Structure 1
Amino acid sequence: MTTTDSRVTASPYAWLRPVAVTAALLLLGYGVLRLIGGLDGPRDRSAWPWMVGHTLFLFGIVAFGAVIVGLHSLLRATSPRLGVLDDVAAVAGLVGATAFVWVILGDLFPRFADAVATPDLVLLGGPALFELGVLTLLVRTAVARLLPAWAPILVLVGFGSIAVNLDLLPIGAALVLAGLVPLGRH
């Protein structure tokens, strides 16, 4: 917030923090529902925890796409020196988010999966591009002193724990959430 002529005006990036927190909370909800769905044996794709969880995951990834765009815009406005790096990170993150959306839609709608084959490159490269893009933008945001230095580290550990074992999704999502909460406070 800045003061101009005794009026308080909101930053054009005020939306970024609530969207980032929402994205992480949706990921956390997916992780919790994934665990609930697996408590009684193999996960049933038609059971409500699986369907609702994947829907939360889909909305979370879309929200992360908005966060990528917001971080990119914020960095361009405040620290344009490394614009090419920010551009590459944003494109990588958005390509990765798109790959996630593709896979989630295939999980939720089997006819989509049958109609549109999912290449292995999407399954393997998508998450890596997404995480690399988000982390690069968060590190750049921390370097610009718009985020504490520890925040990207928490997000990295959160993403890493999810990559190690999907059953750690709730813990990983909580770490991602903790890393994103400080957005917009500096």
Structure 2
Amino acid sequence: MNTTRTTTRTTRRTAYAVVGAPALMALYGGIRLVPGSREPGLGWTVGHTAMFAGLLLFAPVLLALRGRLAPRGTTAGRLAAGAALGTAFAGLAASLVQIGIDLCVGLVAADKAEQSRLFDRVQGVPGVLPAVYQIGPLLFYVGLLALLVAAAVGAARTLPWWSPVLMLVGTAASGVDLALIPVAAVCYLAALAPLVRRSAGPRPALA
């Protein structure tokens, strides 16, 4: 009974994260399209707060993916899945730091000019630009995609082949133009949705 309750809570938590993370990401992308939202003010604060919360919700998604791979495959496969999870979490941490900096700068700056000066000062610190803005956040997408590929085409095969494809399409879209973040969010939601439907484990074989 306790195991069943724990599984139910885990499934529910995963479902909330799978829906909530892309939804908050889409909210950020939508707010970003509103005139005036890219300078200090309500739009900047609400949008970046939503994105920060959305990124936090990706943590249980990553753990759910890793959990689907852990019981299956070879030792090498499990080690590879662990490496992918570590990579994704490192990138997630960098992304959270980036959004946190952006949020703080927006709250402190009085206007767009001061915002730019503060960003120049922060990004001028050695190591901050590559670690937090250029390379670090990319690790999140690399690790997440690796986990999805392993779940879709590896020994586990607990997700459909199109889950990593949709994730790649969404990531590429937001990389081409940040105005496409809402489109990317829809792709992420579709890519991760099977994780919820299958989270209860494989169906028992019919007698």
State the TM-score, normalized to the length of structure 1.
Answer: 0.83
> Which amino acid in structure 1 is aligned with residue 97 of structure 2?
W
| Residue equivalent to 1:124 | 134
Q: Residue type of the partner of 2:7?
A: S
Alignment pair present for 1:152 and 2:164: yes
Select the residue among 7, 16, 24 that pairs with 1:11.
7
Structure 1 range deviating more: 164-173 or 73-82: 73-82
Are 1:150 and 1:179, in contact at CA under 8 Å, matched by a contact in 2?
yes
| 2:177 is aligned with 1:165 | yes
* Alpha-carbon separation, structure 2, partners of 1:80 and 1:60: 33
Gaps of 5+ in 1: none
Q: Percent identity among equivalent residues? A: 31
Q: CA deviation at 1:83?
A: 1.0
* 1:52-91 correspondence to structure 2 within 5 Å: 52-79=46-73, 81=75, 82-91=77-86
Is the 8 Å Cα contact of residues 32 and 47 (structure 2) preserved in structure 1? yes
For structure 1, which segment, 119-128 or 26-35, has the greater mean C-alpha deviation from structure 2 after superposition? 119-128
The answer for unaligned runs of 5 or more in structure 2 is: 109-117, 199-207
**Cα shift readout 1:103-142 (whole Å, capped 9, x = no counterpart):** 1111111369768946122211122100000011111111
Q: 1:92 aligns with which of 87, 92, 113?
A: 87
Number of positions where the alignment pairs a residue of Structure 1 with one of Structure 2: 177
Q: Per the alignment, do residues 149 and 10 of structure 1 end up closer, same or farther by CA in structure 2, a change over 3 Å counting?
A: farther
> What SS does structure 2 have at the residue aligned with 1:20?
helix
1:93–1:133: 8 Å Cα contact kept in structure 2?
yes
| Aligned twin of 1:140 | 150
Q: Cα distance, 1:44 vs. partner?
A: 4.0
| Residue aligned with 2:181, SS | helix
Q: Which residue of 2 aligns with 1:101?
A: 96
